[in-house]
Amino acid sequence: MSFYLRKATIEDAQDILRWRNDPATRENSFTKNKISLMSHMNWFGRKLADENCHIFILMDGEKKVGNIRVDVTDEVGEISYMIAPDARGKGYGKKIIALLEEELRQEETGVKTLTAFTLKENMASARCFEVNGFSCEDAGDSLCYSKSI
């Protein structure tokens, strides 16, 4: 199959909300509460309109299997990503991070460093960042991954 990132659109909002509200996603997120449709739509609309935010959907052929967002401040891009519940455990997390790096280089966003924060118990995300060459530092109740690109 062919894997690729495409820019997210408002039509992706419902899928992303469903993935965000999945119990395993909530367990591995800093925000534990279920997110309402109205709250999500307001947030997603703002993010899509923000020129310092880039949101992509990971496609496996014609199937949506995850999303990744990078919020850019100066030359630092902070990553947040999710893999669709039915697509977990298949290597998509590693792939989505690698593809994001390629995308940011091609778009000439000015991002020189990527960062991401994960809960210490989120071993799946830890492996995804480590495989992609990110270094890890303790950040109190979380881990901070970073990489120069």
What was the pLDDT predicted at 24?
85
Confidence of residue 1 (pLDDT cuts 50, 70, 90): low
Please list, in sequence order, all residues whose beta carbon lies within 8 angstroms of the beta carbon of residue 28, skipping any fewer than 6 positions away.
118, 119, 121, 122, 124, 125
Distance CA 82, CA 19 (A): 7
Of residues 38, 134, 123, the one with CA closest to residue 79: 134
Average pLDDT value for residue range 19-25: 90
Q: What is the mean pLDDT of residues 53-76?
A: 96
Q: How far apart are CA 32 and CA 110, in angstroms?
A: 32
State mean pLDDT over 17-31.
87
Average pLDDT over residues 94-100: 96
CATH assignment of the domain containing 120? 3.40.630.30
Q: How many domains does the chain have?
A: 1
Residue 2, helix vs strand vs coil: coil
Q: With 60 as the cut, is the pLDDT of residue 97 above it?
A: yes
Residue 124, pLDDT above cutoff 80: yes
Is the model more confident about 92 or about 108? 92
Confidence of residue 110 (pLDDT cuts 50, 70, 90): confident
Could you give the residue ranges of the DSSP H alpha helices within 1-149? 13-20, 23-27, 37-49, 92-107, 123-131
By residue range, what is the domain housing residue 73? 3-148
Give the pLDDT confidence score for residue 89 in this predicted structure: 92
pTM: 0.92
